[in-house]
Chains A and B, each alone.
Chain A
Amino acid sequence: MTSTGYGTAATPDLLPEAPVDQHPPGKRRKIASGSWPRWIILTVAAIYFIGPLLAAISFTVQDHVHGGVTFSAYRQIFTTPANGQVGFTTALVYSLEIAVTTIVLTLLLLLPTQLLLHLRFPRVRGLVEVITLLPLVFPPVVLVVGVDDVFTWVGKNTHSPLYKVISYIRQDSHPYILVFLYVILAMPFVYRTLDAGIRSIDSRTLVEASRNLGAGWPTVLFRVLVPCLRTALINSAFLCFALVMGEFTISKILNYTKPFPVWLYQLPTTSGQVQAAVSVFSLLLVEVLLLVIGALNWRRAVEKKG
């Protein structure tokens, strides 16, 4: 779903909390507003954004043989493809496993580091922030060229332990190399999300207070900080999830065929209906998930205020 992830760069919170509009609409006056051009723009935007979704849905339910409507394309999603590919559930679960591993590794790597930076090395934060922006400068297409070059170089000596390690992490059944690379891709967004979260909770006071009350470090981390950072952690997890479930570039160029987007692309389809059906299905799934999480965030924000 995420072709580049730049969208998530702009939205550390996937769905911003219901903001209090400090400039209520009534106060914006004639000098800056006009109503009919606004409605034209909104209508055109609505057509452009909702249109393809509706068109795709109607495309997928067309019955070319008998005319009328059929859901056979959606039923076919779950049958085994004729060309020897794995099935829909296998591909989905494959990507899900990679996503979960990525989330765990990213949070394991970034949360302690960011807490350490925030509490002990505030001046290094600038450097780390620049580092976390590097994956935006060197996009996945570029990164995968480098990774491929590393593989070629390591492959020149097939008896070295390094070759064995690289071979192991490249294996189709446990593609750790994908996990490692996805952590890098997720870094800019997860860093910003966690950073916003850590800044907002005054972690220094929390840590001092709990230490003063005699808490050990695990307690401080898991029972004090993590619950306070729950929104940020959930948002980060979801960012990673969306990134991994939609990541095509690296997995395709490194010749993995089971991750979900690659699987979807290679799905044999005589009319394009099944591919469109899977696309509609997965996009709606992501939308629903996002709205659910947004609603949860919203409700917590409302509860906090009330």
Chain B
Amino acid sequence: MTSAGRVESEMSTQVEELPKARGTGSARSRRLSFGWLGLVPFFGYVFLVFMVPIGFILYNAFRKTVHGASVRDPVTQQFVRTDHTSFTGSNVSNSLKGVYRTAVVNSLQLSAVVAIIGAVVGVLLAYAVVNSKSNALRQIVIAAAAVTANFGGIPLAFLFIATVGNAGMVTTFLKDHLNISLQNDLHFQLATTAGVALVYLYFLVPLMVLVMTPALEGLKPQWAEAAENLGANRWHYWRYVAGPVLLPNFLGSVLLLFCSSFSAYATAYALVGDSFPLVPIQISSVLSGNVLSGQENLGAALALDMIVIVLPLTVVYQLLQRRTSRWLA
């Protein structure tokens, strides 16, 4: 390319690249339409792989199939029957009865308890770390938290089974050396809701630490100084200055922990098995066929229950997130 040609192409490039360039109408619309095409893979993918299954859930949760009489075909020996499918609310109502009701209540209780305990412990831990003199402690804890927040699942469950399970190290130590039975005397068993809660904290507390550390560090020391100068003691500082600033972040994190533990499956499954009254476990139990006939879409109804619980909380979480950036930026 000649230098003249290069200059020309440079100039035309610049003209085209300016965001509000007014090119010819057809060139501009051609460019825009090709641009939208570039977004098609993403939106198409999300629609196909995500929206379609969710759509099926929302639809099937309200569908019921009633089986007609079966007639045997004399040649193939197979049964032929006419099924009648209709809309119904019975799936959803059944999903809130009996063992499923127990599961929903249990899941809500478990999630609420671990969310609050995890949030409080996490905040205290973050606070302890943020205020320490040594930078190294802070780095270590943050790094460790980043790692443990991504634990969870099957390996974590087995770690705890090896520790406080029925044949775990702590259990046998207590029984052999101190004659204390973890199950009978301390009334703790790993394969219960309490045990699941204990294990959930292992990845929820680090999550809280990771979320609250930047927030706590965002508290400017000038505020503390100003408060002290105005005669506030520590309680007043927290009650009127730091607390309200941190509150949206804190509440948002509680919701995050709640949703996280409400939808968790692997850890609980490994600890308590496939019939325990927790919603994700019941969903998998239903999907593997443990349903009575006529209740085939109970899984979809249970999934719908989960969506109805988690969706509003996520919306509130998003709203709280928008509020946090104001003071702590």
Contact = CB atoms under 8 A, between A and B. Distances in A.
Interface of A: 1-11, 14-16, 18, 21, 23, 25-29, 31-33, 37-39, 41-42, 45, 48-49, 51-53, 55-56, 58-60, 109-110, 112-113, 116-117, 120-121, 124, 128, 131, 133-150, 153, 180-181, 183-184, 187, 208, 211-212, 214, 242, 246-249, 252-253, 261, 264-265, 271-272, 275-276, 278-280, 282-283, 286-287, 290-291, 294
* Majority secondary structure, B binding face: helix
* Residue of B56, B220, B288, B302 with most chain A CB atoms under a 10 A cut-off: B56
B303 A137 contact: no
B154 A279 contact: yes
B203 A7 contact: yes
Interface stretch (B20-28, B73-81, B179-187, B260-268): B260-268
B108 interface: no
Contacts of B283: 141-142, 145
B104 interface: no
Contact of B156 (A3, A26, A208, A272): A3
A236 to B, nearest CB: 14
A27 B221 contact: yes
Contact of B211 (A10, A25, A28): A10
Interface in B25-44: 35, 38-39, 41-42
B10 to A, nearest CB: 6
B91 interface: no
B8 interface: no
Nearest to A243: B150
Given A31-B224, A41-B128, A214 B6 contact: yes
A135 B120 CA distance: 27
B299 A283 contact: no
Contacts of B52: 146, 150
Nearest to A134: B50
Contacts of A14: 146, 150
Q: Which of A3, A4, A32 has the most CB of B within 10 A?
A: A3
Interface in B213-247: 217, 219-221, 224-225, 227-228, 233-234, 237, 242
* The 9 A-B residue pairs with the shortest CB-CB distance in the complex, in nearest-first order: A146-B53, A3-B152, A7-B149, A139-B263, A279-B155, A248-B266, A59-B162, A55-B163, A56-B162
A143 B169 contact: no
Contacts of A48: 201-202
Contact of B314 (A8, A28, A137): A137
Contacts of B163: 51-52, 55-56, 59
Contacts of A265: 154, 269-270
A52 B217 contact: no
Nearest to A59: B162
Residues of A contacting B: mostly: helix
A294 B143 contact: yes
Interface residues of B, number: 109
Contacts of A27: 221
A55 B208 CA distance: 25
Contacts of A143: 50, 53-54
A134 B52 CA distance: 13
Interface centre among B125, B153, B265 (most CB of A within 10 A): B153
A53 to B, nearest CB: 6
Contacts of B219: 32
Given A3-B153, A25-B134, A214-B6, A55 B170 contact: yes
A22 B158 CA distance: 41
Nearest to A3: B152
Contacts of A45: 121, 125, 205
Contact of A117 (B39, B168, B234): B39
Contacts of A249: 265-266, 280, 284
5 contacts: A8-B149, A29-B228, A60-B162, A139-B306, A291-B147
Given A141-B306, A272-B161, 19 more contacts: A3-B156, A3-B267, A7-B210, A15-B143, A25-B134, A51-B163, A60-B162, A109-B41, A121-B39, A128-B42, A138-B50, A142-B306, A146-B57, A146-B303, A211-B13, A211-B17, A276-B162, A286-B150, A290-B150
**Which residue, of B127, B287, B310, has the highest number of chain A Cβ atoms within 10 A?**
B287
A28 B131 contact: yes
Interface string B91-117: 000000000000000000000000000
Contacts of A42: 125, 128-129, 137
Given A248-B154, A252-B269, A141 B263 contact: yes
Interface string B136-151: 0111001110111111
Nearest to B242: A32
Contact of B146 (A11, A214, A248): A11
A214 B206 CA distance: 48
